[in-house]
Amino acid sequence: MDAQYRDLMMKRVNRFFGYSLLILTSLILIAPVFFMVISSLKVDAEYLTYPIRVFPSTPQWRNYQLVFIMTPFAKVALRTAVLALSTATLSALISSMVGFAFARYNDVKGNKQLFGLVIAMLIVPFIVILIPQFILYARLKLTNTYWPWILGALAGSPYNIFMFRQFFLNFPKELEDAAEIDGCNPFQIYWRIFLPNAKPVIATVMIFGFINVWGDYLMPSIYLNASKTLLGVTLATAFKNPQGIDLKTISLAASVIYILPLIIVFFFGQKQILKGVVTSGLKG
């Protein structure tokens, strides 16, 4: 009886500390975001002043207007969103399949070596293959198209493959054996048993995949021209004055608009990471 009461009290104290820690951490983490938003309403010269002024003298709501005037922001954003979603999904699917094979077929000859190659590709600095890959696509006349992204997604990404492999390593062997005895072929084992239980990783991989394309600068800057460009390039290059100098505060405004969809995507995506309703009273 006594032990249970103590345990309960410990839980209460834990919870109090836990919440305080959470709120404190939130405040610390949010502070720079707050500065970012508040600065987006300033004139460029007010960005850093002395004496230090947190709030702008006159909020420049016009900065947000300018984002849409200076660039076809909405059009580019939509274009980017479609590409991001499709490539994220494609890559997640393919990578899960490949990762499954690496994880569950440890006994096959060449598994470890091939996986080593996958990891090696993760380590190769992108700049090394950037221009040669561009040459390749140029010969195929696929520059200024979205094919580099789609073909890349169809091959799965080393990062995603790695993540799925690690996740699938955890599943007990008995699951596979039972399914095999039941007459399932490997694809069915993958599709019906492993994949549905990988929702957390799928959600994670898709969120990251989406964010990657949403904000990537390097690839679109190399492959796409102005009429087809993606959001990452617009964000990084479009907000300059005629001399080529960055307009910081307008860039910040654009960044704020840029992250809004991401917050929404994440907020709903992370619910998927949560594995259903928790029933056990022993939790928390």
Partner 1 sequence: MAEKLLKKISRRDVLKLSGTFLGGALLASCAPATEAPAPVAEPTEKPVEPTAAPVTEAPVAEPISGHVVVMHNLAEFTEDHVAAFQEANPGITVEVVDGMDPTRFFAMYAAGSPPDIYRLQAPSIPGLLARKLLLDLTPYFEASQLIDIADLAPANDYYKAESPLEIGTGKIYGMCKDFSPDCTIFANKAHFEKAGLPIPDDTKAMTFTEIVDAAKQLTTFDGERMLQYGYGYETAWIDRFWMNMLAETGASLYAAGYEKINLTESEDAKAIVQWFYDLAAEKVSPSPKNPSPAGWFGTDFVGATASMAQYGFWFSAMAIGDANKDAVMMLPGPTWAGERRDPTVTATGAIMTSATQVPDAAWKVFEYYHAGQPSIERAGSGWGVPALKSQWSMIPQGTDFQKQAYKVLQGELELNTSPLQFNPFIGETVVSNAWNLYLDQALSGTITFDDMLAGIEKDTNTAIKEGIDRIIP
Partner 2 sequence: MESGITANQLERKESGQRTLTRNQRRTLTFYLFVSPWVIGFVLLGIFPLLVGLLTSFTNYDGLNLDTVKFVGLGNYARVFEDPDVSFSLVRTILWGLANLPLWLVLSFLLALILNQDVKGSGFFRTIFYLPSLIPITAAVTAWRIILEKNFGMLNASISRFTPEPVAIGWLSDYSLPGMTSIAIWGGLGYGMVIFLAGLQGIPDELKEAAQIDGANSWQVFRHITLPLMTPVIFFQLVLGLIGSFQQLNLPLLVTKVGIAASSVPPRPIYLYMIHTYQQIFTSGRYGYGTALLWMLFIGILILTWIVFWSEKYWVYSGASEGAN
Residues forming the site for partner 1 (CB under 8 A): 43-50, 57, 70, 72, 130-132, 134-135, 138-139, 143-144, 218, 221-222, 225-227, 229, 233, 237-238, 240-246, 248
Count Cα atoms within 13 angstroms, Cβ side, for 11: 10
Nearer to partner 2, 172 or 227 (CB): 172
225 binds, among partner 2, partner 1, none (CB under 5 to 8 A by kind): partner 1
For residue 273, which of 163, 188, 186, 141 has the smallest C-alpha distance?
A: 163
What sign does the CA torsion over 247, 251, 252, 253 have? positive
User: Cα–Cα distance between 29 and 102 in angstroms, integer?
Assistant: 37
The residue range among 65-73, 80-88, 166-174, 221-229 that interacts with partner 2, by the rule CB under 8 A, is: 166-174
222 binds, among partner 1, partner 2, none (CB under 5 to 8 A by kind): partner 1
211 lines the binding site for partner 2 (CB under 8 A): yes
Report in angstroms how near the CB of residue 183 gets to partner 1 at its nearest: 52
69 binds, among partner 1, partner 2, none (CB under 5 to 8 A by kind): none
Using the rule CB under 8 A, which residue among 178, 192, 226, 228 binds partner 2? Answer: 178
Angle of helix 73-104 relative to helix 158-169, nearest 10 degrees? 40
Nearer to partner 1, 14 or 49 (CB): 49
User: Cα–Cα distance between 189 and 277 in angstroms, integer?
Assistant: 25
221 binds, among partner 2, partner 1, none (CB under 5 to 8 A by kind): partner 1
Q: What number of H helices and E strands is found in the chain?
A: 13, 0
Looking at this protein, which amino acid is placed at residue 247? L
Contacts (CB under 8 A) with partner 2, residues 54-93: none
Report in angstroms how near the CB of residue 33 gets to partner 2 at its nearest: 6
Task: Please report, for residues 48, 107, 192, 221, the alpha-carbon distance to residue 243 in angstroms, rounded to integers and kept in the order given.
Answer: 21, 61, 58, 20
The string of DSSP codes covering 232-256 is HHHHHHSSB-TTS-B-HHHHHHHHH
Nearer to partner 2, 73 or 167 (CB): 167
Run of H or E residues at 273: helix 248-273
The residue range among 21-29, 61-69, 78-86, 219-227 that interacts with partner 2, by the rule CB under 8 A, is: 21-29
162 lines the binding site for partner 2 (CB under 8 A): yes
Is the preceding peptide bond at 51 cis, omega within 30 degrees of 0? yes
Report in angstroms how near the CB of residue 240 gets to partner 2 at its nearest: 10
Nearer to partner 1, 39 or 91 (CB): 39
233 binds, among partner 1, partner 2, none (CB under 5 to 8 A by kind): partner 1
